[in-house]
C-alpha cells in the first residue's frame, strides 16, 4: 500500500466505477465522491457525495487525503451552465481545497477534446497549442492551465490525463486511434500517482495503438507504457463502417462528433 487515503471524484461515472475497484489495491482508504448514486459503502471505502460547485463541501472532501484522482464533472459537450459549474467553478474549488488542506498531488482527468480541432492527419505533441473542440474541451483546457498555476505558485503537482476513449472495446473507426483499455487506464493513473516527481505534466491517455494522433514523448518521465492495442478490433470496426463520409467534420477532426455537437440555445 502506497497511500493512506486516496480521493476519487466522479466515482459513479464510467471510469470512476472501474477505478473504484482497481485503486483499492493502492491505498488503505478510498474516499469516493459523486453527485450520482454511489451504492453501498464497501470495506476500505468512504462515501462522500458532494457537488463540485459547493466550495465548503469540496474543502471537506480533501481533508486528510494524500492524493486526488479527479474524474468529477461534466464529461461531454453540453450547455454552458453545467460546464461552468462543475468543470470551471468545480476545478477551482478542488485546487483551493488542495492548497488549504496541503494535498500535494492531483491526477486530473483532462480530455483529448482539449485538442479536438486538430485534424486526423496531424500528430499532436504535448507542447502544441490547445485547440478545444467545444465548451467541454475549453473547460478541460482551463483545468490544465489552473493546475499549472497551482504548481508554479504553490507546488501542488498535477498530471493532466488527456484521456482518449476508455471503454471495454473501441466502438468505431475513431477509437482505433483514441482507445485505451481499462487495464491501461489503471496503469496510467497509478504511474501518475506514484512517479516520484511529476511537477505539472500532461499526457495523452491512449493505448499501444498502431494508428495514433498524439505523441507522448515529452511525458516519458511518468513511466506509462500501454500494453493493449486497438489493432485486434480493427477488422470488426472497419466492417461495421465500410464507407466513412470523408466530408463529415466528425471524420476530419480528432474530436469526432464533439466538433459538431451544440449549440444548445
What track of x and - describes contact with ligand 15L for positions 177 through 216 (by CB under 6 A)?
Answer: -x--------------------------------------
Residue 92 is a catalytic residue: no
DSSP string, 26-39: GEEEEEEE-SS---
Do the strands 27-33 and 200-205 form a parallel or antiparallel pair, or are they unpaired? unpaired
Query: Pick from 9, 68, 71, 75: which binds ligand 15L (CB under 6 A)?
Result: 75
Query: Pick from 24, 113, 131, 187: which binds ligand 15L (CB under 6 A)?
Result: 113
Find the length of the chain.
265
State the minimum distance, in angstroms, from the CB of residue 115 to ligand 15L.
Answer: 11
165: contact with ligand 15L by CB under 6 A: yes
C-alpha–C-alpha distance, residues 141 and 213, integer Å: 18
SS3 letters for 190-208?
Answer: HHHHHCCCCCEEEEEECCC
* Contact region with ligand 15L (CB under 6 A), list: 31-39, 44-52, 107-115, 147-155: 107-115
139: contact with ligand 15L by CB under 6 A: no
What SS3 state is found at 160?
strand
Q: Which of 92, 95, 118, 136 is catalytic?
A: 136
78: contact with ligand 15L by CB under 6 A: no
CB proximity list for 80: less than 8 A, separation 6 or greater: 135, 264
Nearer of residues 104 and 171 to ligand 15L, judged by Cβ:
171
CB proximity list for 14: less than 8 A, separation 6 or greater: 75, 166, 167
Q: Residue 142: which H helix or E strand, with range?
A: helix 135-154
Nearer of residues 71 and 103 to ligand 15L, judged by Cβ:
71
- Smallest CA-to-CA distance from 222 within 251, 247, 256, 199 is with 199
C-alpha–C-alpha distance, residues 155 and 65, integer Å: 16
Size of the site for ligand 15L (CB under 6 A): 7
Nearer of residues 20 and 113 to ligand 15L, judged by Cβ:
113
State the minimum distance, in angstroms, from the CB of residue 187 to ligand 15L.
Answer: 18
112: contact with ligand 15L by CB under 6 A: yes
Query: Pick from 9, 111, 139, 181: which binds ligand 15L (CB under 6 A)?
Result: 111
Contact residues for ligand 15L (CB under 6 A)? 75-76, 111-113, 165, 178
- For the annotated catalytic residues, the residue numbers are 136
Amino acid at each position: 500500500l502506497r497511500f493512506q487515503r486516496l480521493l476519487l471524484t466522479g466515482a459513479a461515472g464510467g471510469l470512476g466505477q472501474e477505478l473504484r475497484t482497481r485503486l483499492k489495491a493502492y491505498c488503505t482508504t478510498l474516499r469516493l465522491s459523486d453527485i450520482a448514486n454511489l451504492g453501498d459503502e464497501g470495506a476500505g471505502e468512504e462515501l462522500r457525495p458532494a457537488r463540485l460547485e459547493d466550495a465548503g463541501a469540496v474543502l471537506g472532501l480533501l481533508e486528510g487525503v494524500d492524493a486526488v484522482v479527479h474524474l468529477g464533472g461534466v464529461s461531454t459537450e453540453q450547455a454552458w451552465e453545467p460546464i461552468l459549474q462543475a468543470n470551471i467553478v468545480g476545478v477551482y474549488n478542488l485546487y483551493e481545497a488542495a492548497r488549504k488542506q496541503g494535498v500535494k498531488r492531483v491526477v486530473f482527468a483532462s480530455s483529448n477534446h482539449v485538442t479536438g480541432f486538430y485534424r486526423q492527419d496531424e500528430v499532436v505533441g504535448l507542447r502544441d497549442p490547445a485547440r478545444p473542440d467545444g465548451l467541454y474541451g475549453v473547460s478541460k483546457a482551463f483545468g490544465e492551465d489552473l493546475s499549472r498555476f497551482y504548481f508554479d505558485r504553490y507546488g501542488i503537482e498535477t498530471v493532466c490525463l488527456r484521456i482518449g476513449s476508455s471503454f471495454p472495446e473501441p466502438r468505431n473507426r475513431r477509437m482505433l486511434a483514441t482507445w485505451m483499455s481499462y487495464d491501461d487506464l489503471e496503469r496510467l493513473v497509478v504511474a501518475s500517482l506514484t512517479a516520484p516527481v511529476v511537477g505539472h505534466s500532461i499526457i495523452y491517455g491512449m493505448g499501444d495503438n498502431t494508428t495514433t494522433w498524439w505523441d507522448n514523448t515529452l511525458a516519458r518521465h511518468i513511466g506509462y507504457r500501454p500494453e493493449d492495442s486497438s489493432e485486434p478490433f480493427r477488422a470488426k470496426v472497419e466492417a461495421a463502417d465500410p464507407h466513412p463520409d470523408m466530408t463529415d467534420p466528425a471524420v476530419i477532426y480528432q474530436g469526432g462528433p464533439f466538433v459538431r455537437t451544440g449549440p444548445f440555445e
